[in-house]
Structures are given as C-alpha cells and as structure tokens.
Amino acid sequence: MKNCFSQMVKKVSMVSLCLGAVAFSATLSADDRIDLGDRYRNGRDLGRDFRPIPLCAIDLAATSLNFQLLNRTSTYRGQVRITGVLKNVGRLSYLSGARQQSLNLYEDRRLVATVPFVNLAVSGSVTVNFVRNWDASSAAEGEFPPTYKIILSQDPDIYIDGNVNNDDCNTRNNTFTRSGSAINDLL
C-alpha cells in the first residue's frame, strides 16, 4: 500500500510539473520562444557553439506603397512614380544567396518592376519603383484605377536549403496592396 501511494505521489508530481511547464510556456510571447533546432542540420555538425535562432527573428515585411507626382503635364495628366518598400522588421539580419529572392511590383495582374536582392540588415529596406504616365480623366485610371501590389518572391526551396538565416518567419506580411485611386488625388 505504501509503495502504491508513493507511485501515485510521483505521478501527481510529474503531472503537476508538466502542467507548470505548459503554463509557463503559454506565458511566453512568440518572440521569447526559441527553435531548439538540430545541431546536426543536413548531416553537418554546426559545432558546440550552435545557438538556436529565436522564433520570428527574421521577418521581411512589405510595408508600404507610395505614390509621387513627378510632373504635371495638364490639369488631369502627369507622370507618377509608384514605390514599394520591403523592410526587415525582425531582430536578425536576413542573409541569403543571389537569385533566391526579389521584390516584385504588380499593376493589377501585370508585373511591372522587380528588384532582386541578397542580404537585408535589421531595419534595412529594399525599394522597387515604377514610373508611368497617368490620366485621371480617363476611365482606365480615373474611374477604374488599377490596384498596385508588392510581393516578396522567394525560391520555393528556401526553407529547406540548409540556411536558417534566410527563413522568413512571418509570410503573412509579405504582400502589400493599394488602390491607384490615391494617384488621382495628386492631380
């Protein structure tokens, strides 16, 4: 009987310990949790100095689309610049290889500009620009203006390439959309 009671106390203690650990981990924010990772990635020993990367440490975000009137040619016409901005809003630098990512700018469904990039420091940014003529009195631009969208485009295998320094932790902020109707307000 004493042995049975002792085993039951151990089980209750273990359950309490597990529940305490779950409660503690629930109090951590996503930024505090870490990817425990594997010291041996792709068969390579990363060494005893291997430090896991905190979750959501590298986060590239499409942050804005700006419209600028470059010159006015008449009351309703002018030349405008559309500028898209991608920023590293994470806590670690984005370190990648050539031709693995680019920032693309679309006018409706048509790709109008692309800027390839390699590395992006914390708080660093990449911009993509497109200059075009605009006629606010036309139906195509005034009444039914196009929609502009920037998209971070990455190689399909970027998350399995063995480089954890180019793994964007939040893909929900990799696009930004804005109606071209705001350009009409500039003219």
Chain Cα centroid distance, residue 69: 28
Average pLDDT, the chain: 81
Cβ-contact 171, 59 below 8 angstroms: no
What distance in Å separates the CA atoms of residue 56 and residue 168, rounded to the nearest whole number?
8
How many CA atoms lie less than 13 Å away from 148 in the CB half-sphere? 26
Bridge-based pairing of strands 110-116 and 60-72 is unpaired
Looking at the predicted structure, is the pLDDT value of residue 31 above 80? no
| pLDDT tens digits, one per residue of 133-181 | 999 999 999 889 999 999 999 998 888 888 889 999 999 999 999 999 9
**pTM, entire model:** 0.70
User: Residue ranges per domain, the chain?
Assistant: 1-28, 60-184
Q: Which residue has the higher pLDDT, 178 or 19?
A: 178
Categorize the per-residue pLDDT at 37 as very low, low, confident or very high, splitting at 50, 70 and 90.
very low
Of 82 and 24, the one with more pLDDT: 82
Question: Per CATH, which fold does 60-184 belong to?
Answer: Immunoglobulin-like (2.60.40)
What pLDDT sits at residue 16? 44
Render pLDDT for 105-130 as a digit per residue (tens, 0 to 9): 999 999 999 999 999 999 999 999 99
Is a pLDDT exceeding 90 seen at residue 82?
Answer: yes
Asked whether 155 and 100 are in contact (CB, 8 A), the reply is yes
Residues 72 and 183: beta-carbon distance below 8 Å? no
Band of pLDDT at residue 39, cut at 50, 70 and 90: very low
What pLDDT is stored for residue 161 in this prediction? 86
| Higher pLDDT among residues 14 and 120, named by residue | 120
Q: Is 103 exposed, middle or buried (0-12, 13-18, 19+ CB in 10 A)?
A: buried
Of 171 and 44, the one with more pLDDT: 171
User: For residue 35, is pLDDT > 60?
Assistant: no
| pLDDT above 60 for 5 | no
**100 φ, ψ to 5°?**
-105, -15
Q: Of residues 101 and 4, which shows the higher confidence score? A: 101
